[in-house]
A and B are shown apart, each in its own frame.
Chain A
Amino acid sequence: AQSVTQLGSHVSVSEGALVLLRCNYSSSVPPYLFWYVQYPNQGLQLLLKYTTGATLVKGINGFEAEFKKSETSFHLTKPSAHMSDAAEYFCAVSDQAAGNKLTFGGGTRVLVKP
């Protein structure tokens, strides 16, 4: 079965600083990879996804992620944090061997300090 590990359940960054959220997965076949964001009292919204092609994927709100097959990683970055980036972020992997069901990481809550 797939597993997804997000390092750090909480991350605190200063406004303007780099945001780096780590995601590692286990998969026996090339997966589809996703990052979702959840703002307080809301559902999850797609930030970006990797399916095929270019391994550096750009998403909404200035976020990007790079698929590194050799490291089984899909880390999320944003060069300069805004206060509005305070939210919880989830990495997810689609298991092609199981009907493309998504498996989620435990989530990382981002706090942005002024």
Chain B
Amino acid sequence: DAGITQSPRHKVTETGTPVTLRCHQTENHRYMYWYRQDPGHGLRLIHYSYGVKDTDKGEVSDGYSVSRSKTEDFLLTLESATSSQTSVYFCAIRDRGNTGELFFGEGSRLTVL
């Protein structure tokens, strides 16, 4: 158990509304990641963080922002949700070794109507 909690686990919202997903970890890991999972695309990196207030974009960052004000929390925000952002979102933390191995949360299923 890597001590990762995502909230909410399920959310239905309407187009144009803001949405924030939270990832909480208890293991004091430096690196945290947000991925989205869509059929046929596997997992695609949205944003990641390499420390408090240190974040960077992934391959599908448009329409998303992140914040990390504490080591244990990494927030993903959709400022104005669109139907194309309907997806399952996974938070992950990186193992302390140098291989890049990730531990994943249980996922947050977001539906934008």
Residues of chain A whose beta carbon lies under 8 Å from any beta carbon of chain B? 4, 6, 9, 32, 34, 36, 41-46, 49, 51, 90, 94-95, 99-107
Contact = CB atoms under 8 A, between A and B. Distances in A.
Given A49-B99, A107-B40, 16 more contacts: A4-B42, A32-B100, A34-B101, A41-B107, A42-B106, A42-B107, A44-B102, A100-B98, A100-B99, A101-B33, A101-B58, A102-B45, A104-B42, A104-B43, A106-B40, A106-B42
A100 B103 CA distance: 14
Q: Looking at chain B's contact residues, is the secondary structure mostly helix, strand, loop, or mixed?
A: strand
Contacts of A34: 101
Q: Which bucket holds chain B's interface residue count?
A: 20 to 34
Contact of A90 (B42, B58, B100, B107): B42
B106 A32 contact: no
Given A104-B43, A106-B42, A44 B100 contact: no
Contacts of B43: 44, 90, 104
Q: Looking at chain A's contact residues, is the secondary structure mostly helix, strand, loop, or mixed?
A: strand
